[in-house]
Amino acid sequence: MARAVSQAELAEITQRLKAEGKTIVFANGAFDLLHVGHVRYLQGAADEGDVLIVALNSDESVRALKGEGRPIVPLADRLKMIAAIECVDYVTTFEETNVARLLLRLTPHVHAKGSDYTVDTVPEIETVRSYGGRVAITGGPKSHNTTDIVARIRRGEASS
């Protein structure tokens, strides 16, 4: 099971792991209503290096991005779910609506994003390039998302 750590502790851990020659991969998201698309994204991210760090949006930043009524699952529970995924090594949280500041603090070798992005549409691409990192798109086709799942539940529809 992954360790949930503060950003400060994670910065120290990341420095040590880099000194040991480990390739650090960073993934992020809300991970509200965990689904197979999330798992594929994280497994693909883990394949990009030696250590996978996952940063979760705070409840407030999820609300700012997704609107009222979100997140459905509170941060403490989302952290436990992501930490339980075998390929994840460390989890942390962030308050902002994007992870540029945390990326600059950790400078991971790889910033993994899901297939709803291209390398050129990743919001933090310039941040990653500024410290010499690279972006990897992982997880396969975008055929699952929480917003659609929530809408289906509200309409009383079964999954297809």
Q: What is the pLDDT of residue 146?
A: 61
Q: What is the pLDDT of residue 144?
A: 61
Q: What is the pLDDT of residue 157?
A: 75
Per-residue pLDDT of the chain (160 residues; tens, 9 = 90+): 899 999 999 999 999 999 999 999 999 999 998 888 899 999 999 999 999 999 999 999 999 999 999 999 999 999 999 999 999 999 999 999 999 999 999 999 999 999 989 999 999 999 999 999 999 999 876 656 666 666 666 667 766 5
Q: What is the pLDDT of residue 130?
A: 98
- The CA dihedral of 72, 75, 81, 86, to the nearest 10 degrees, is 140
Q: What is the pLDDT of residue 142?
A: 64
CATH architecture for the domain at 3-155: 3-Layer(aba) Sandwich (3.40)
Cβ atoms of 30 and 57 closer than 8 Å: yes
The residues spanned by each domain of the chain are 3-155
Q: What is the pLDDT of residue 33?
A: 86
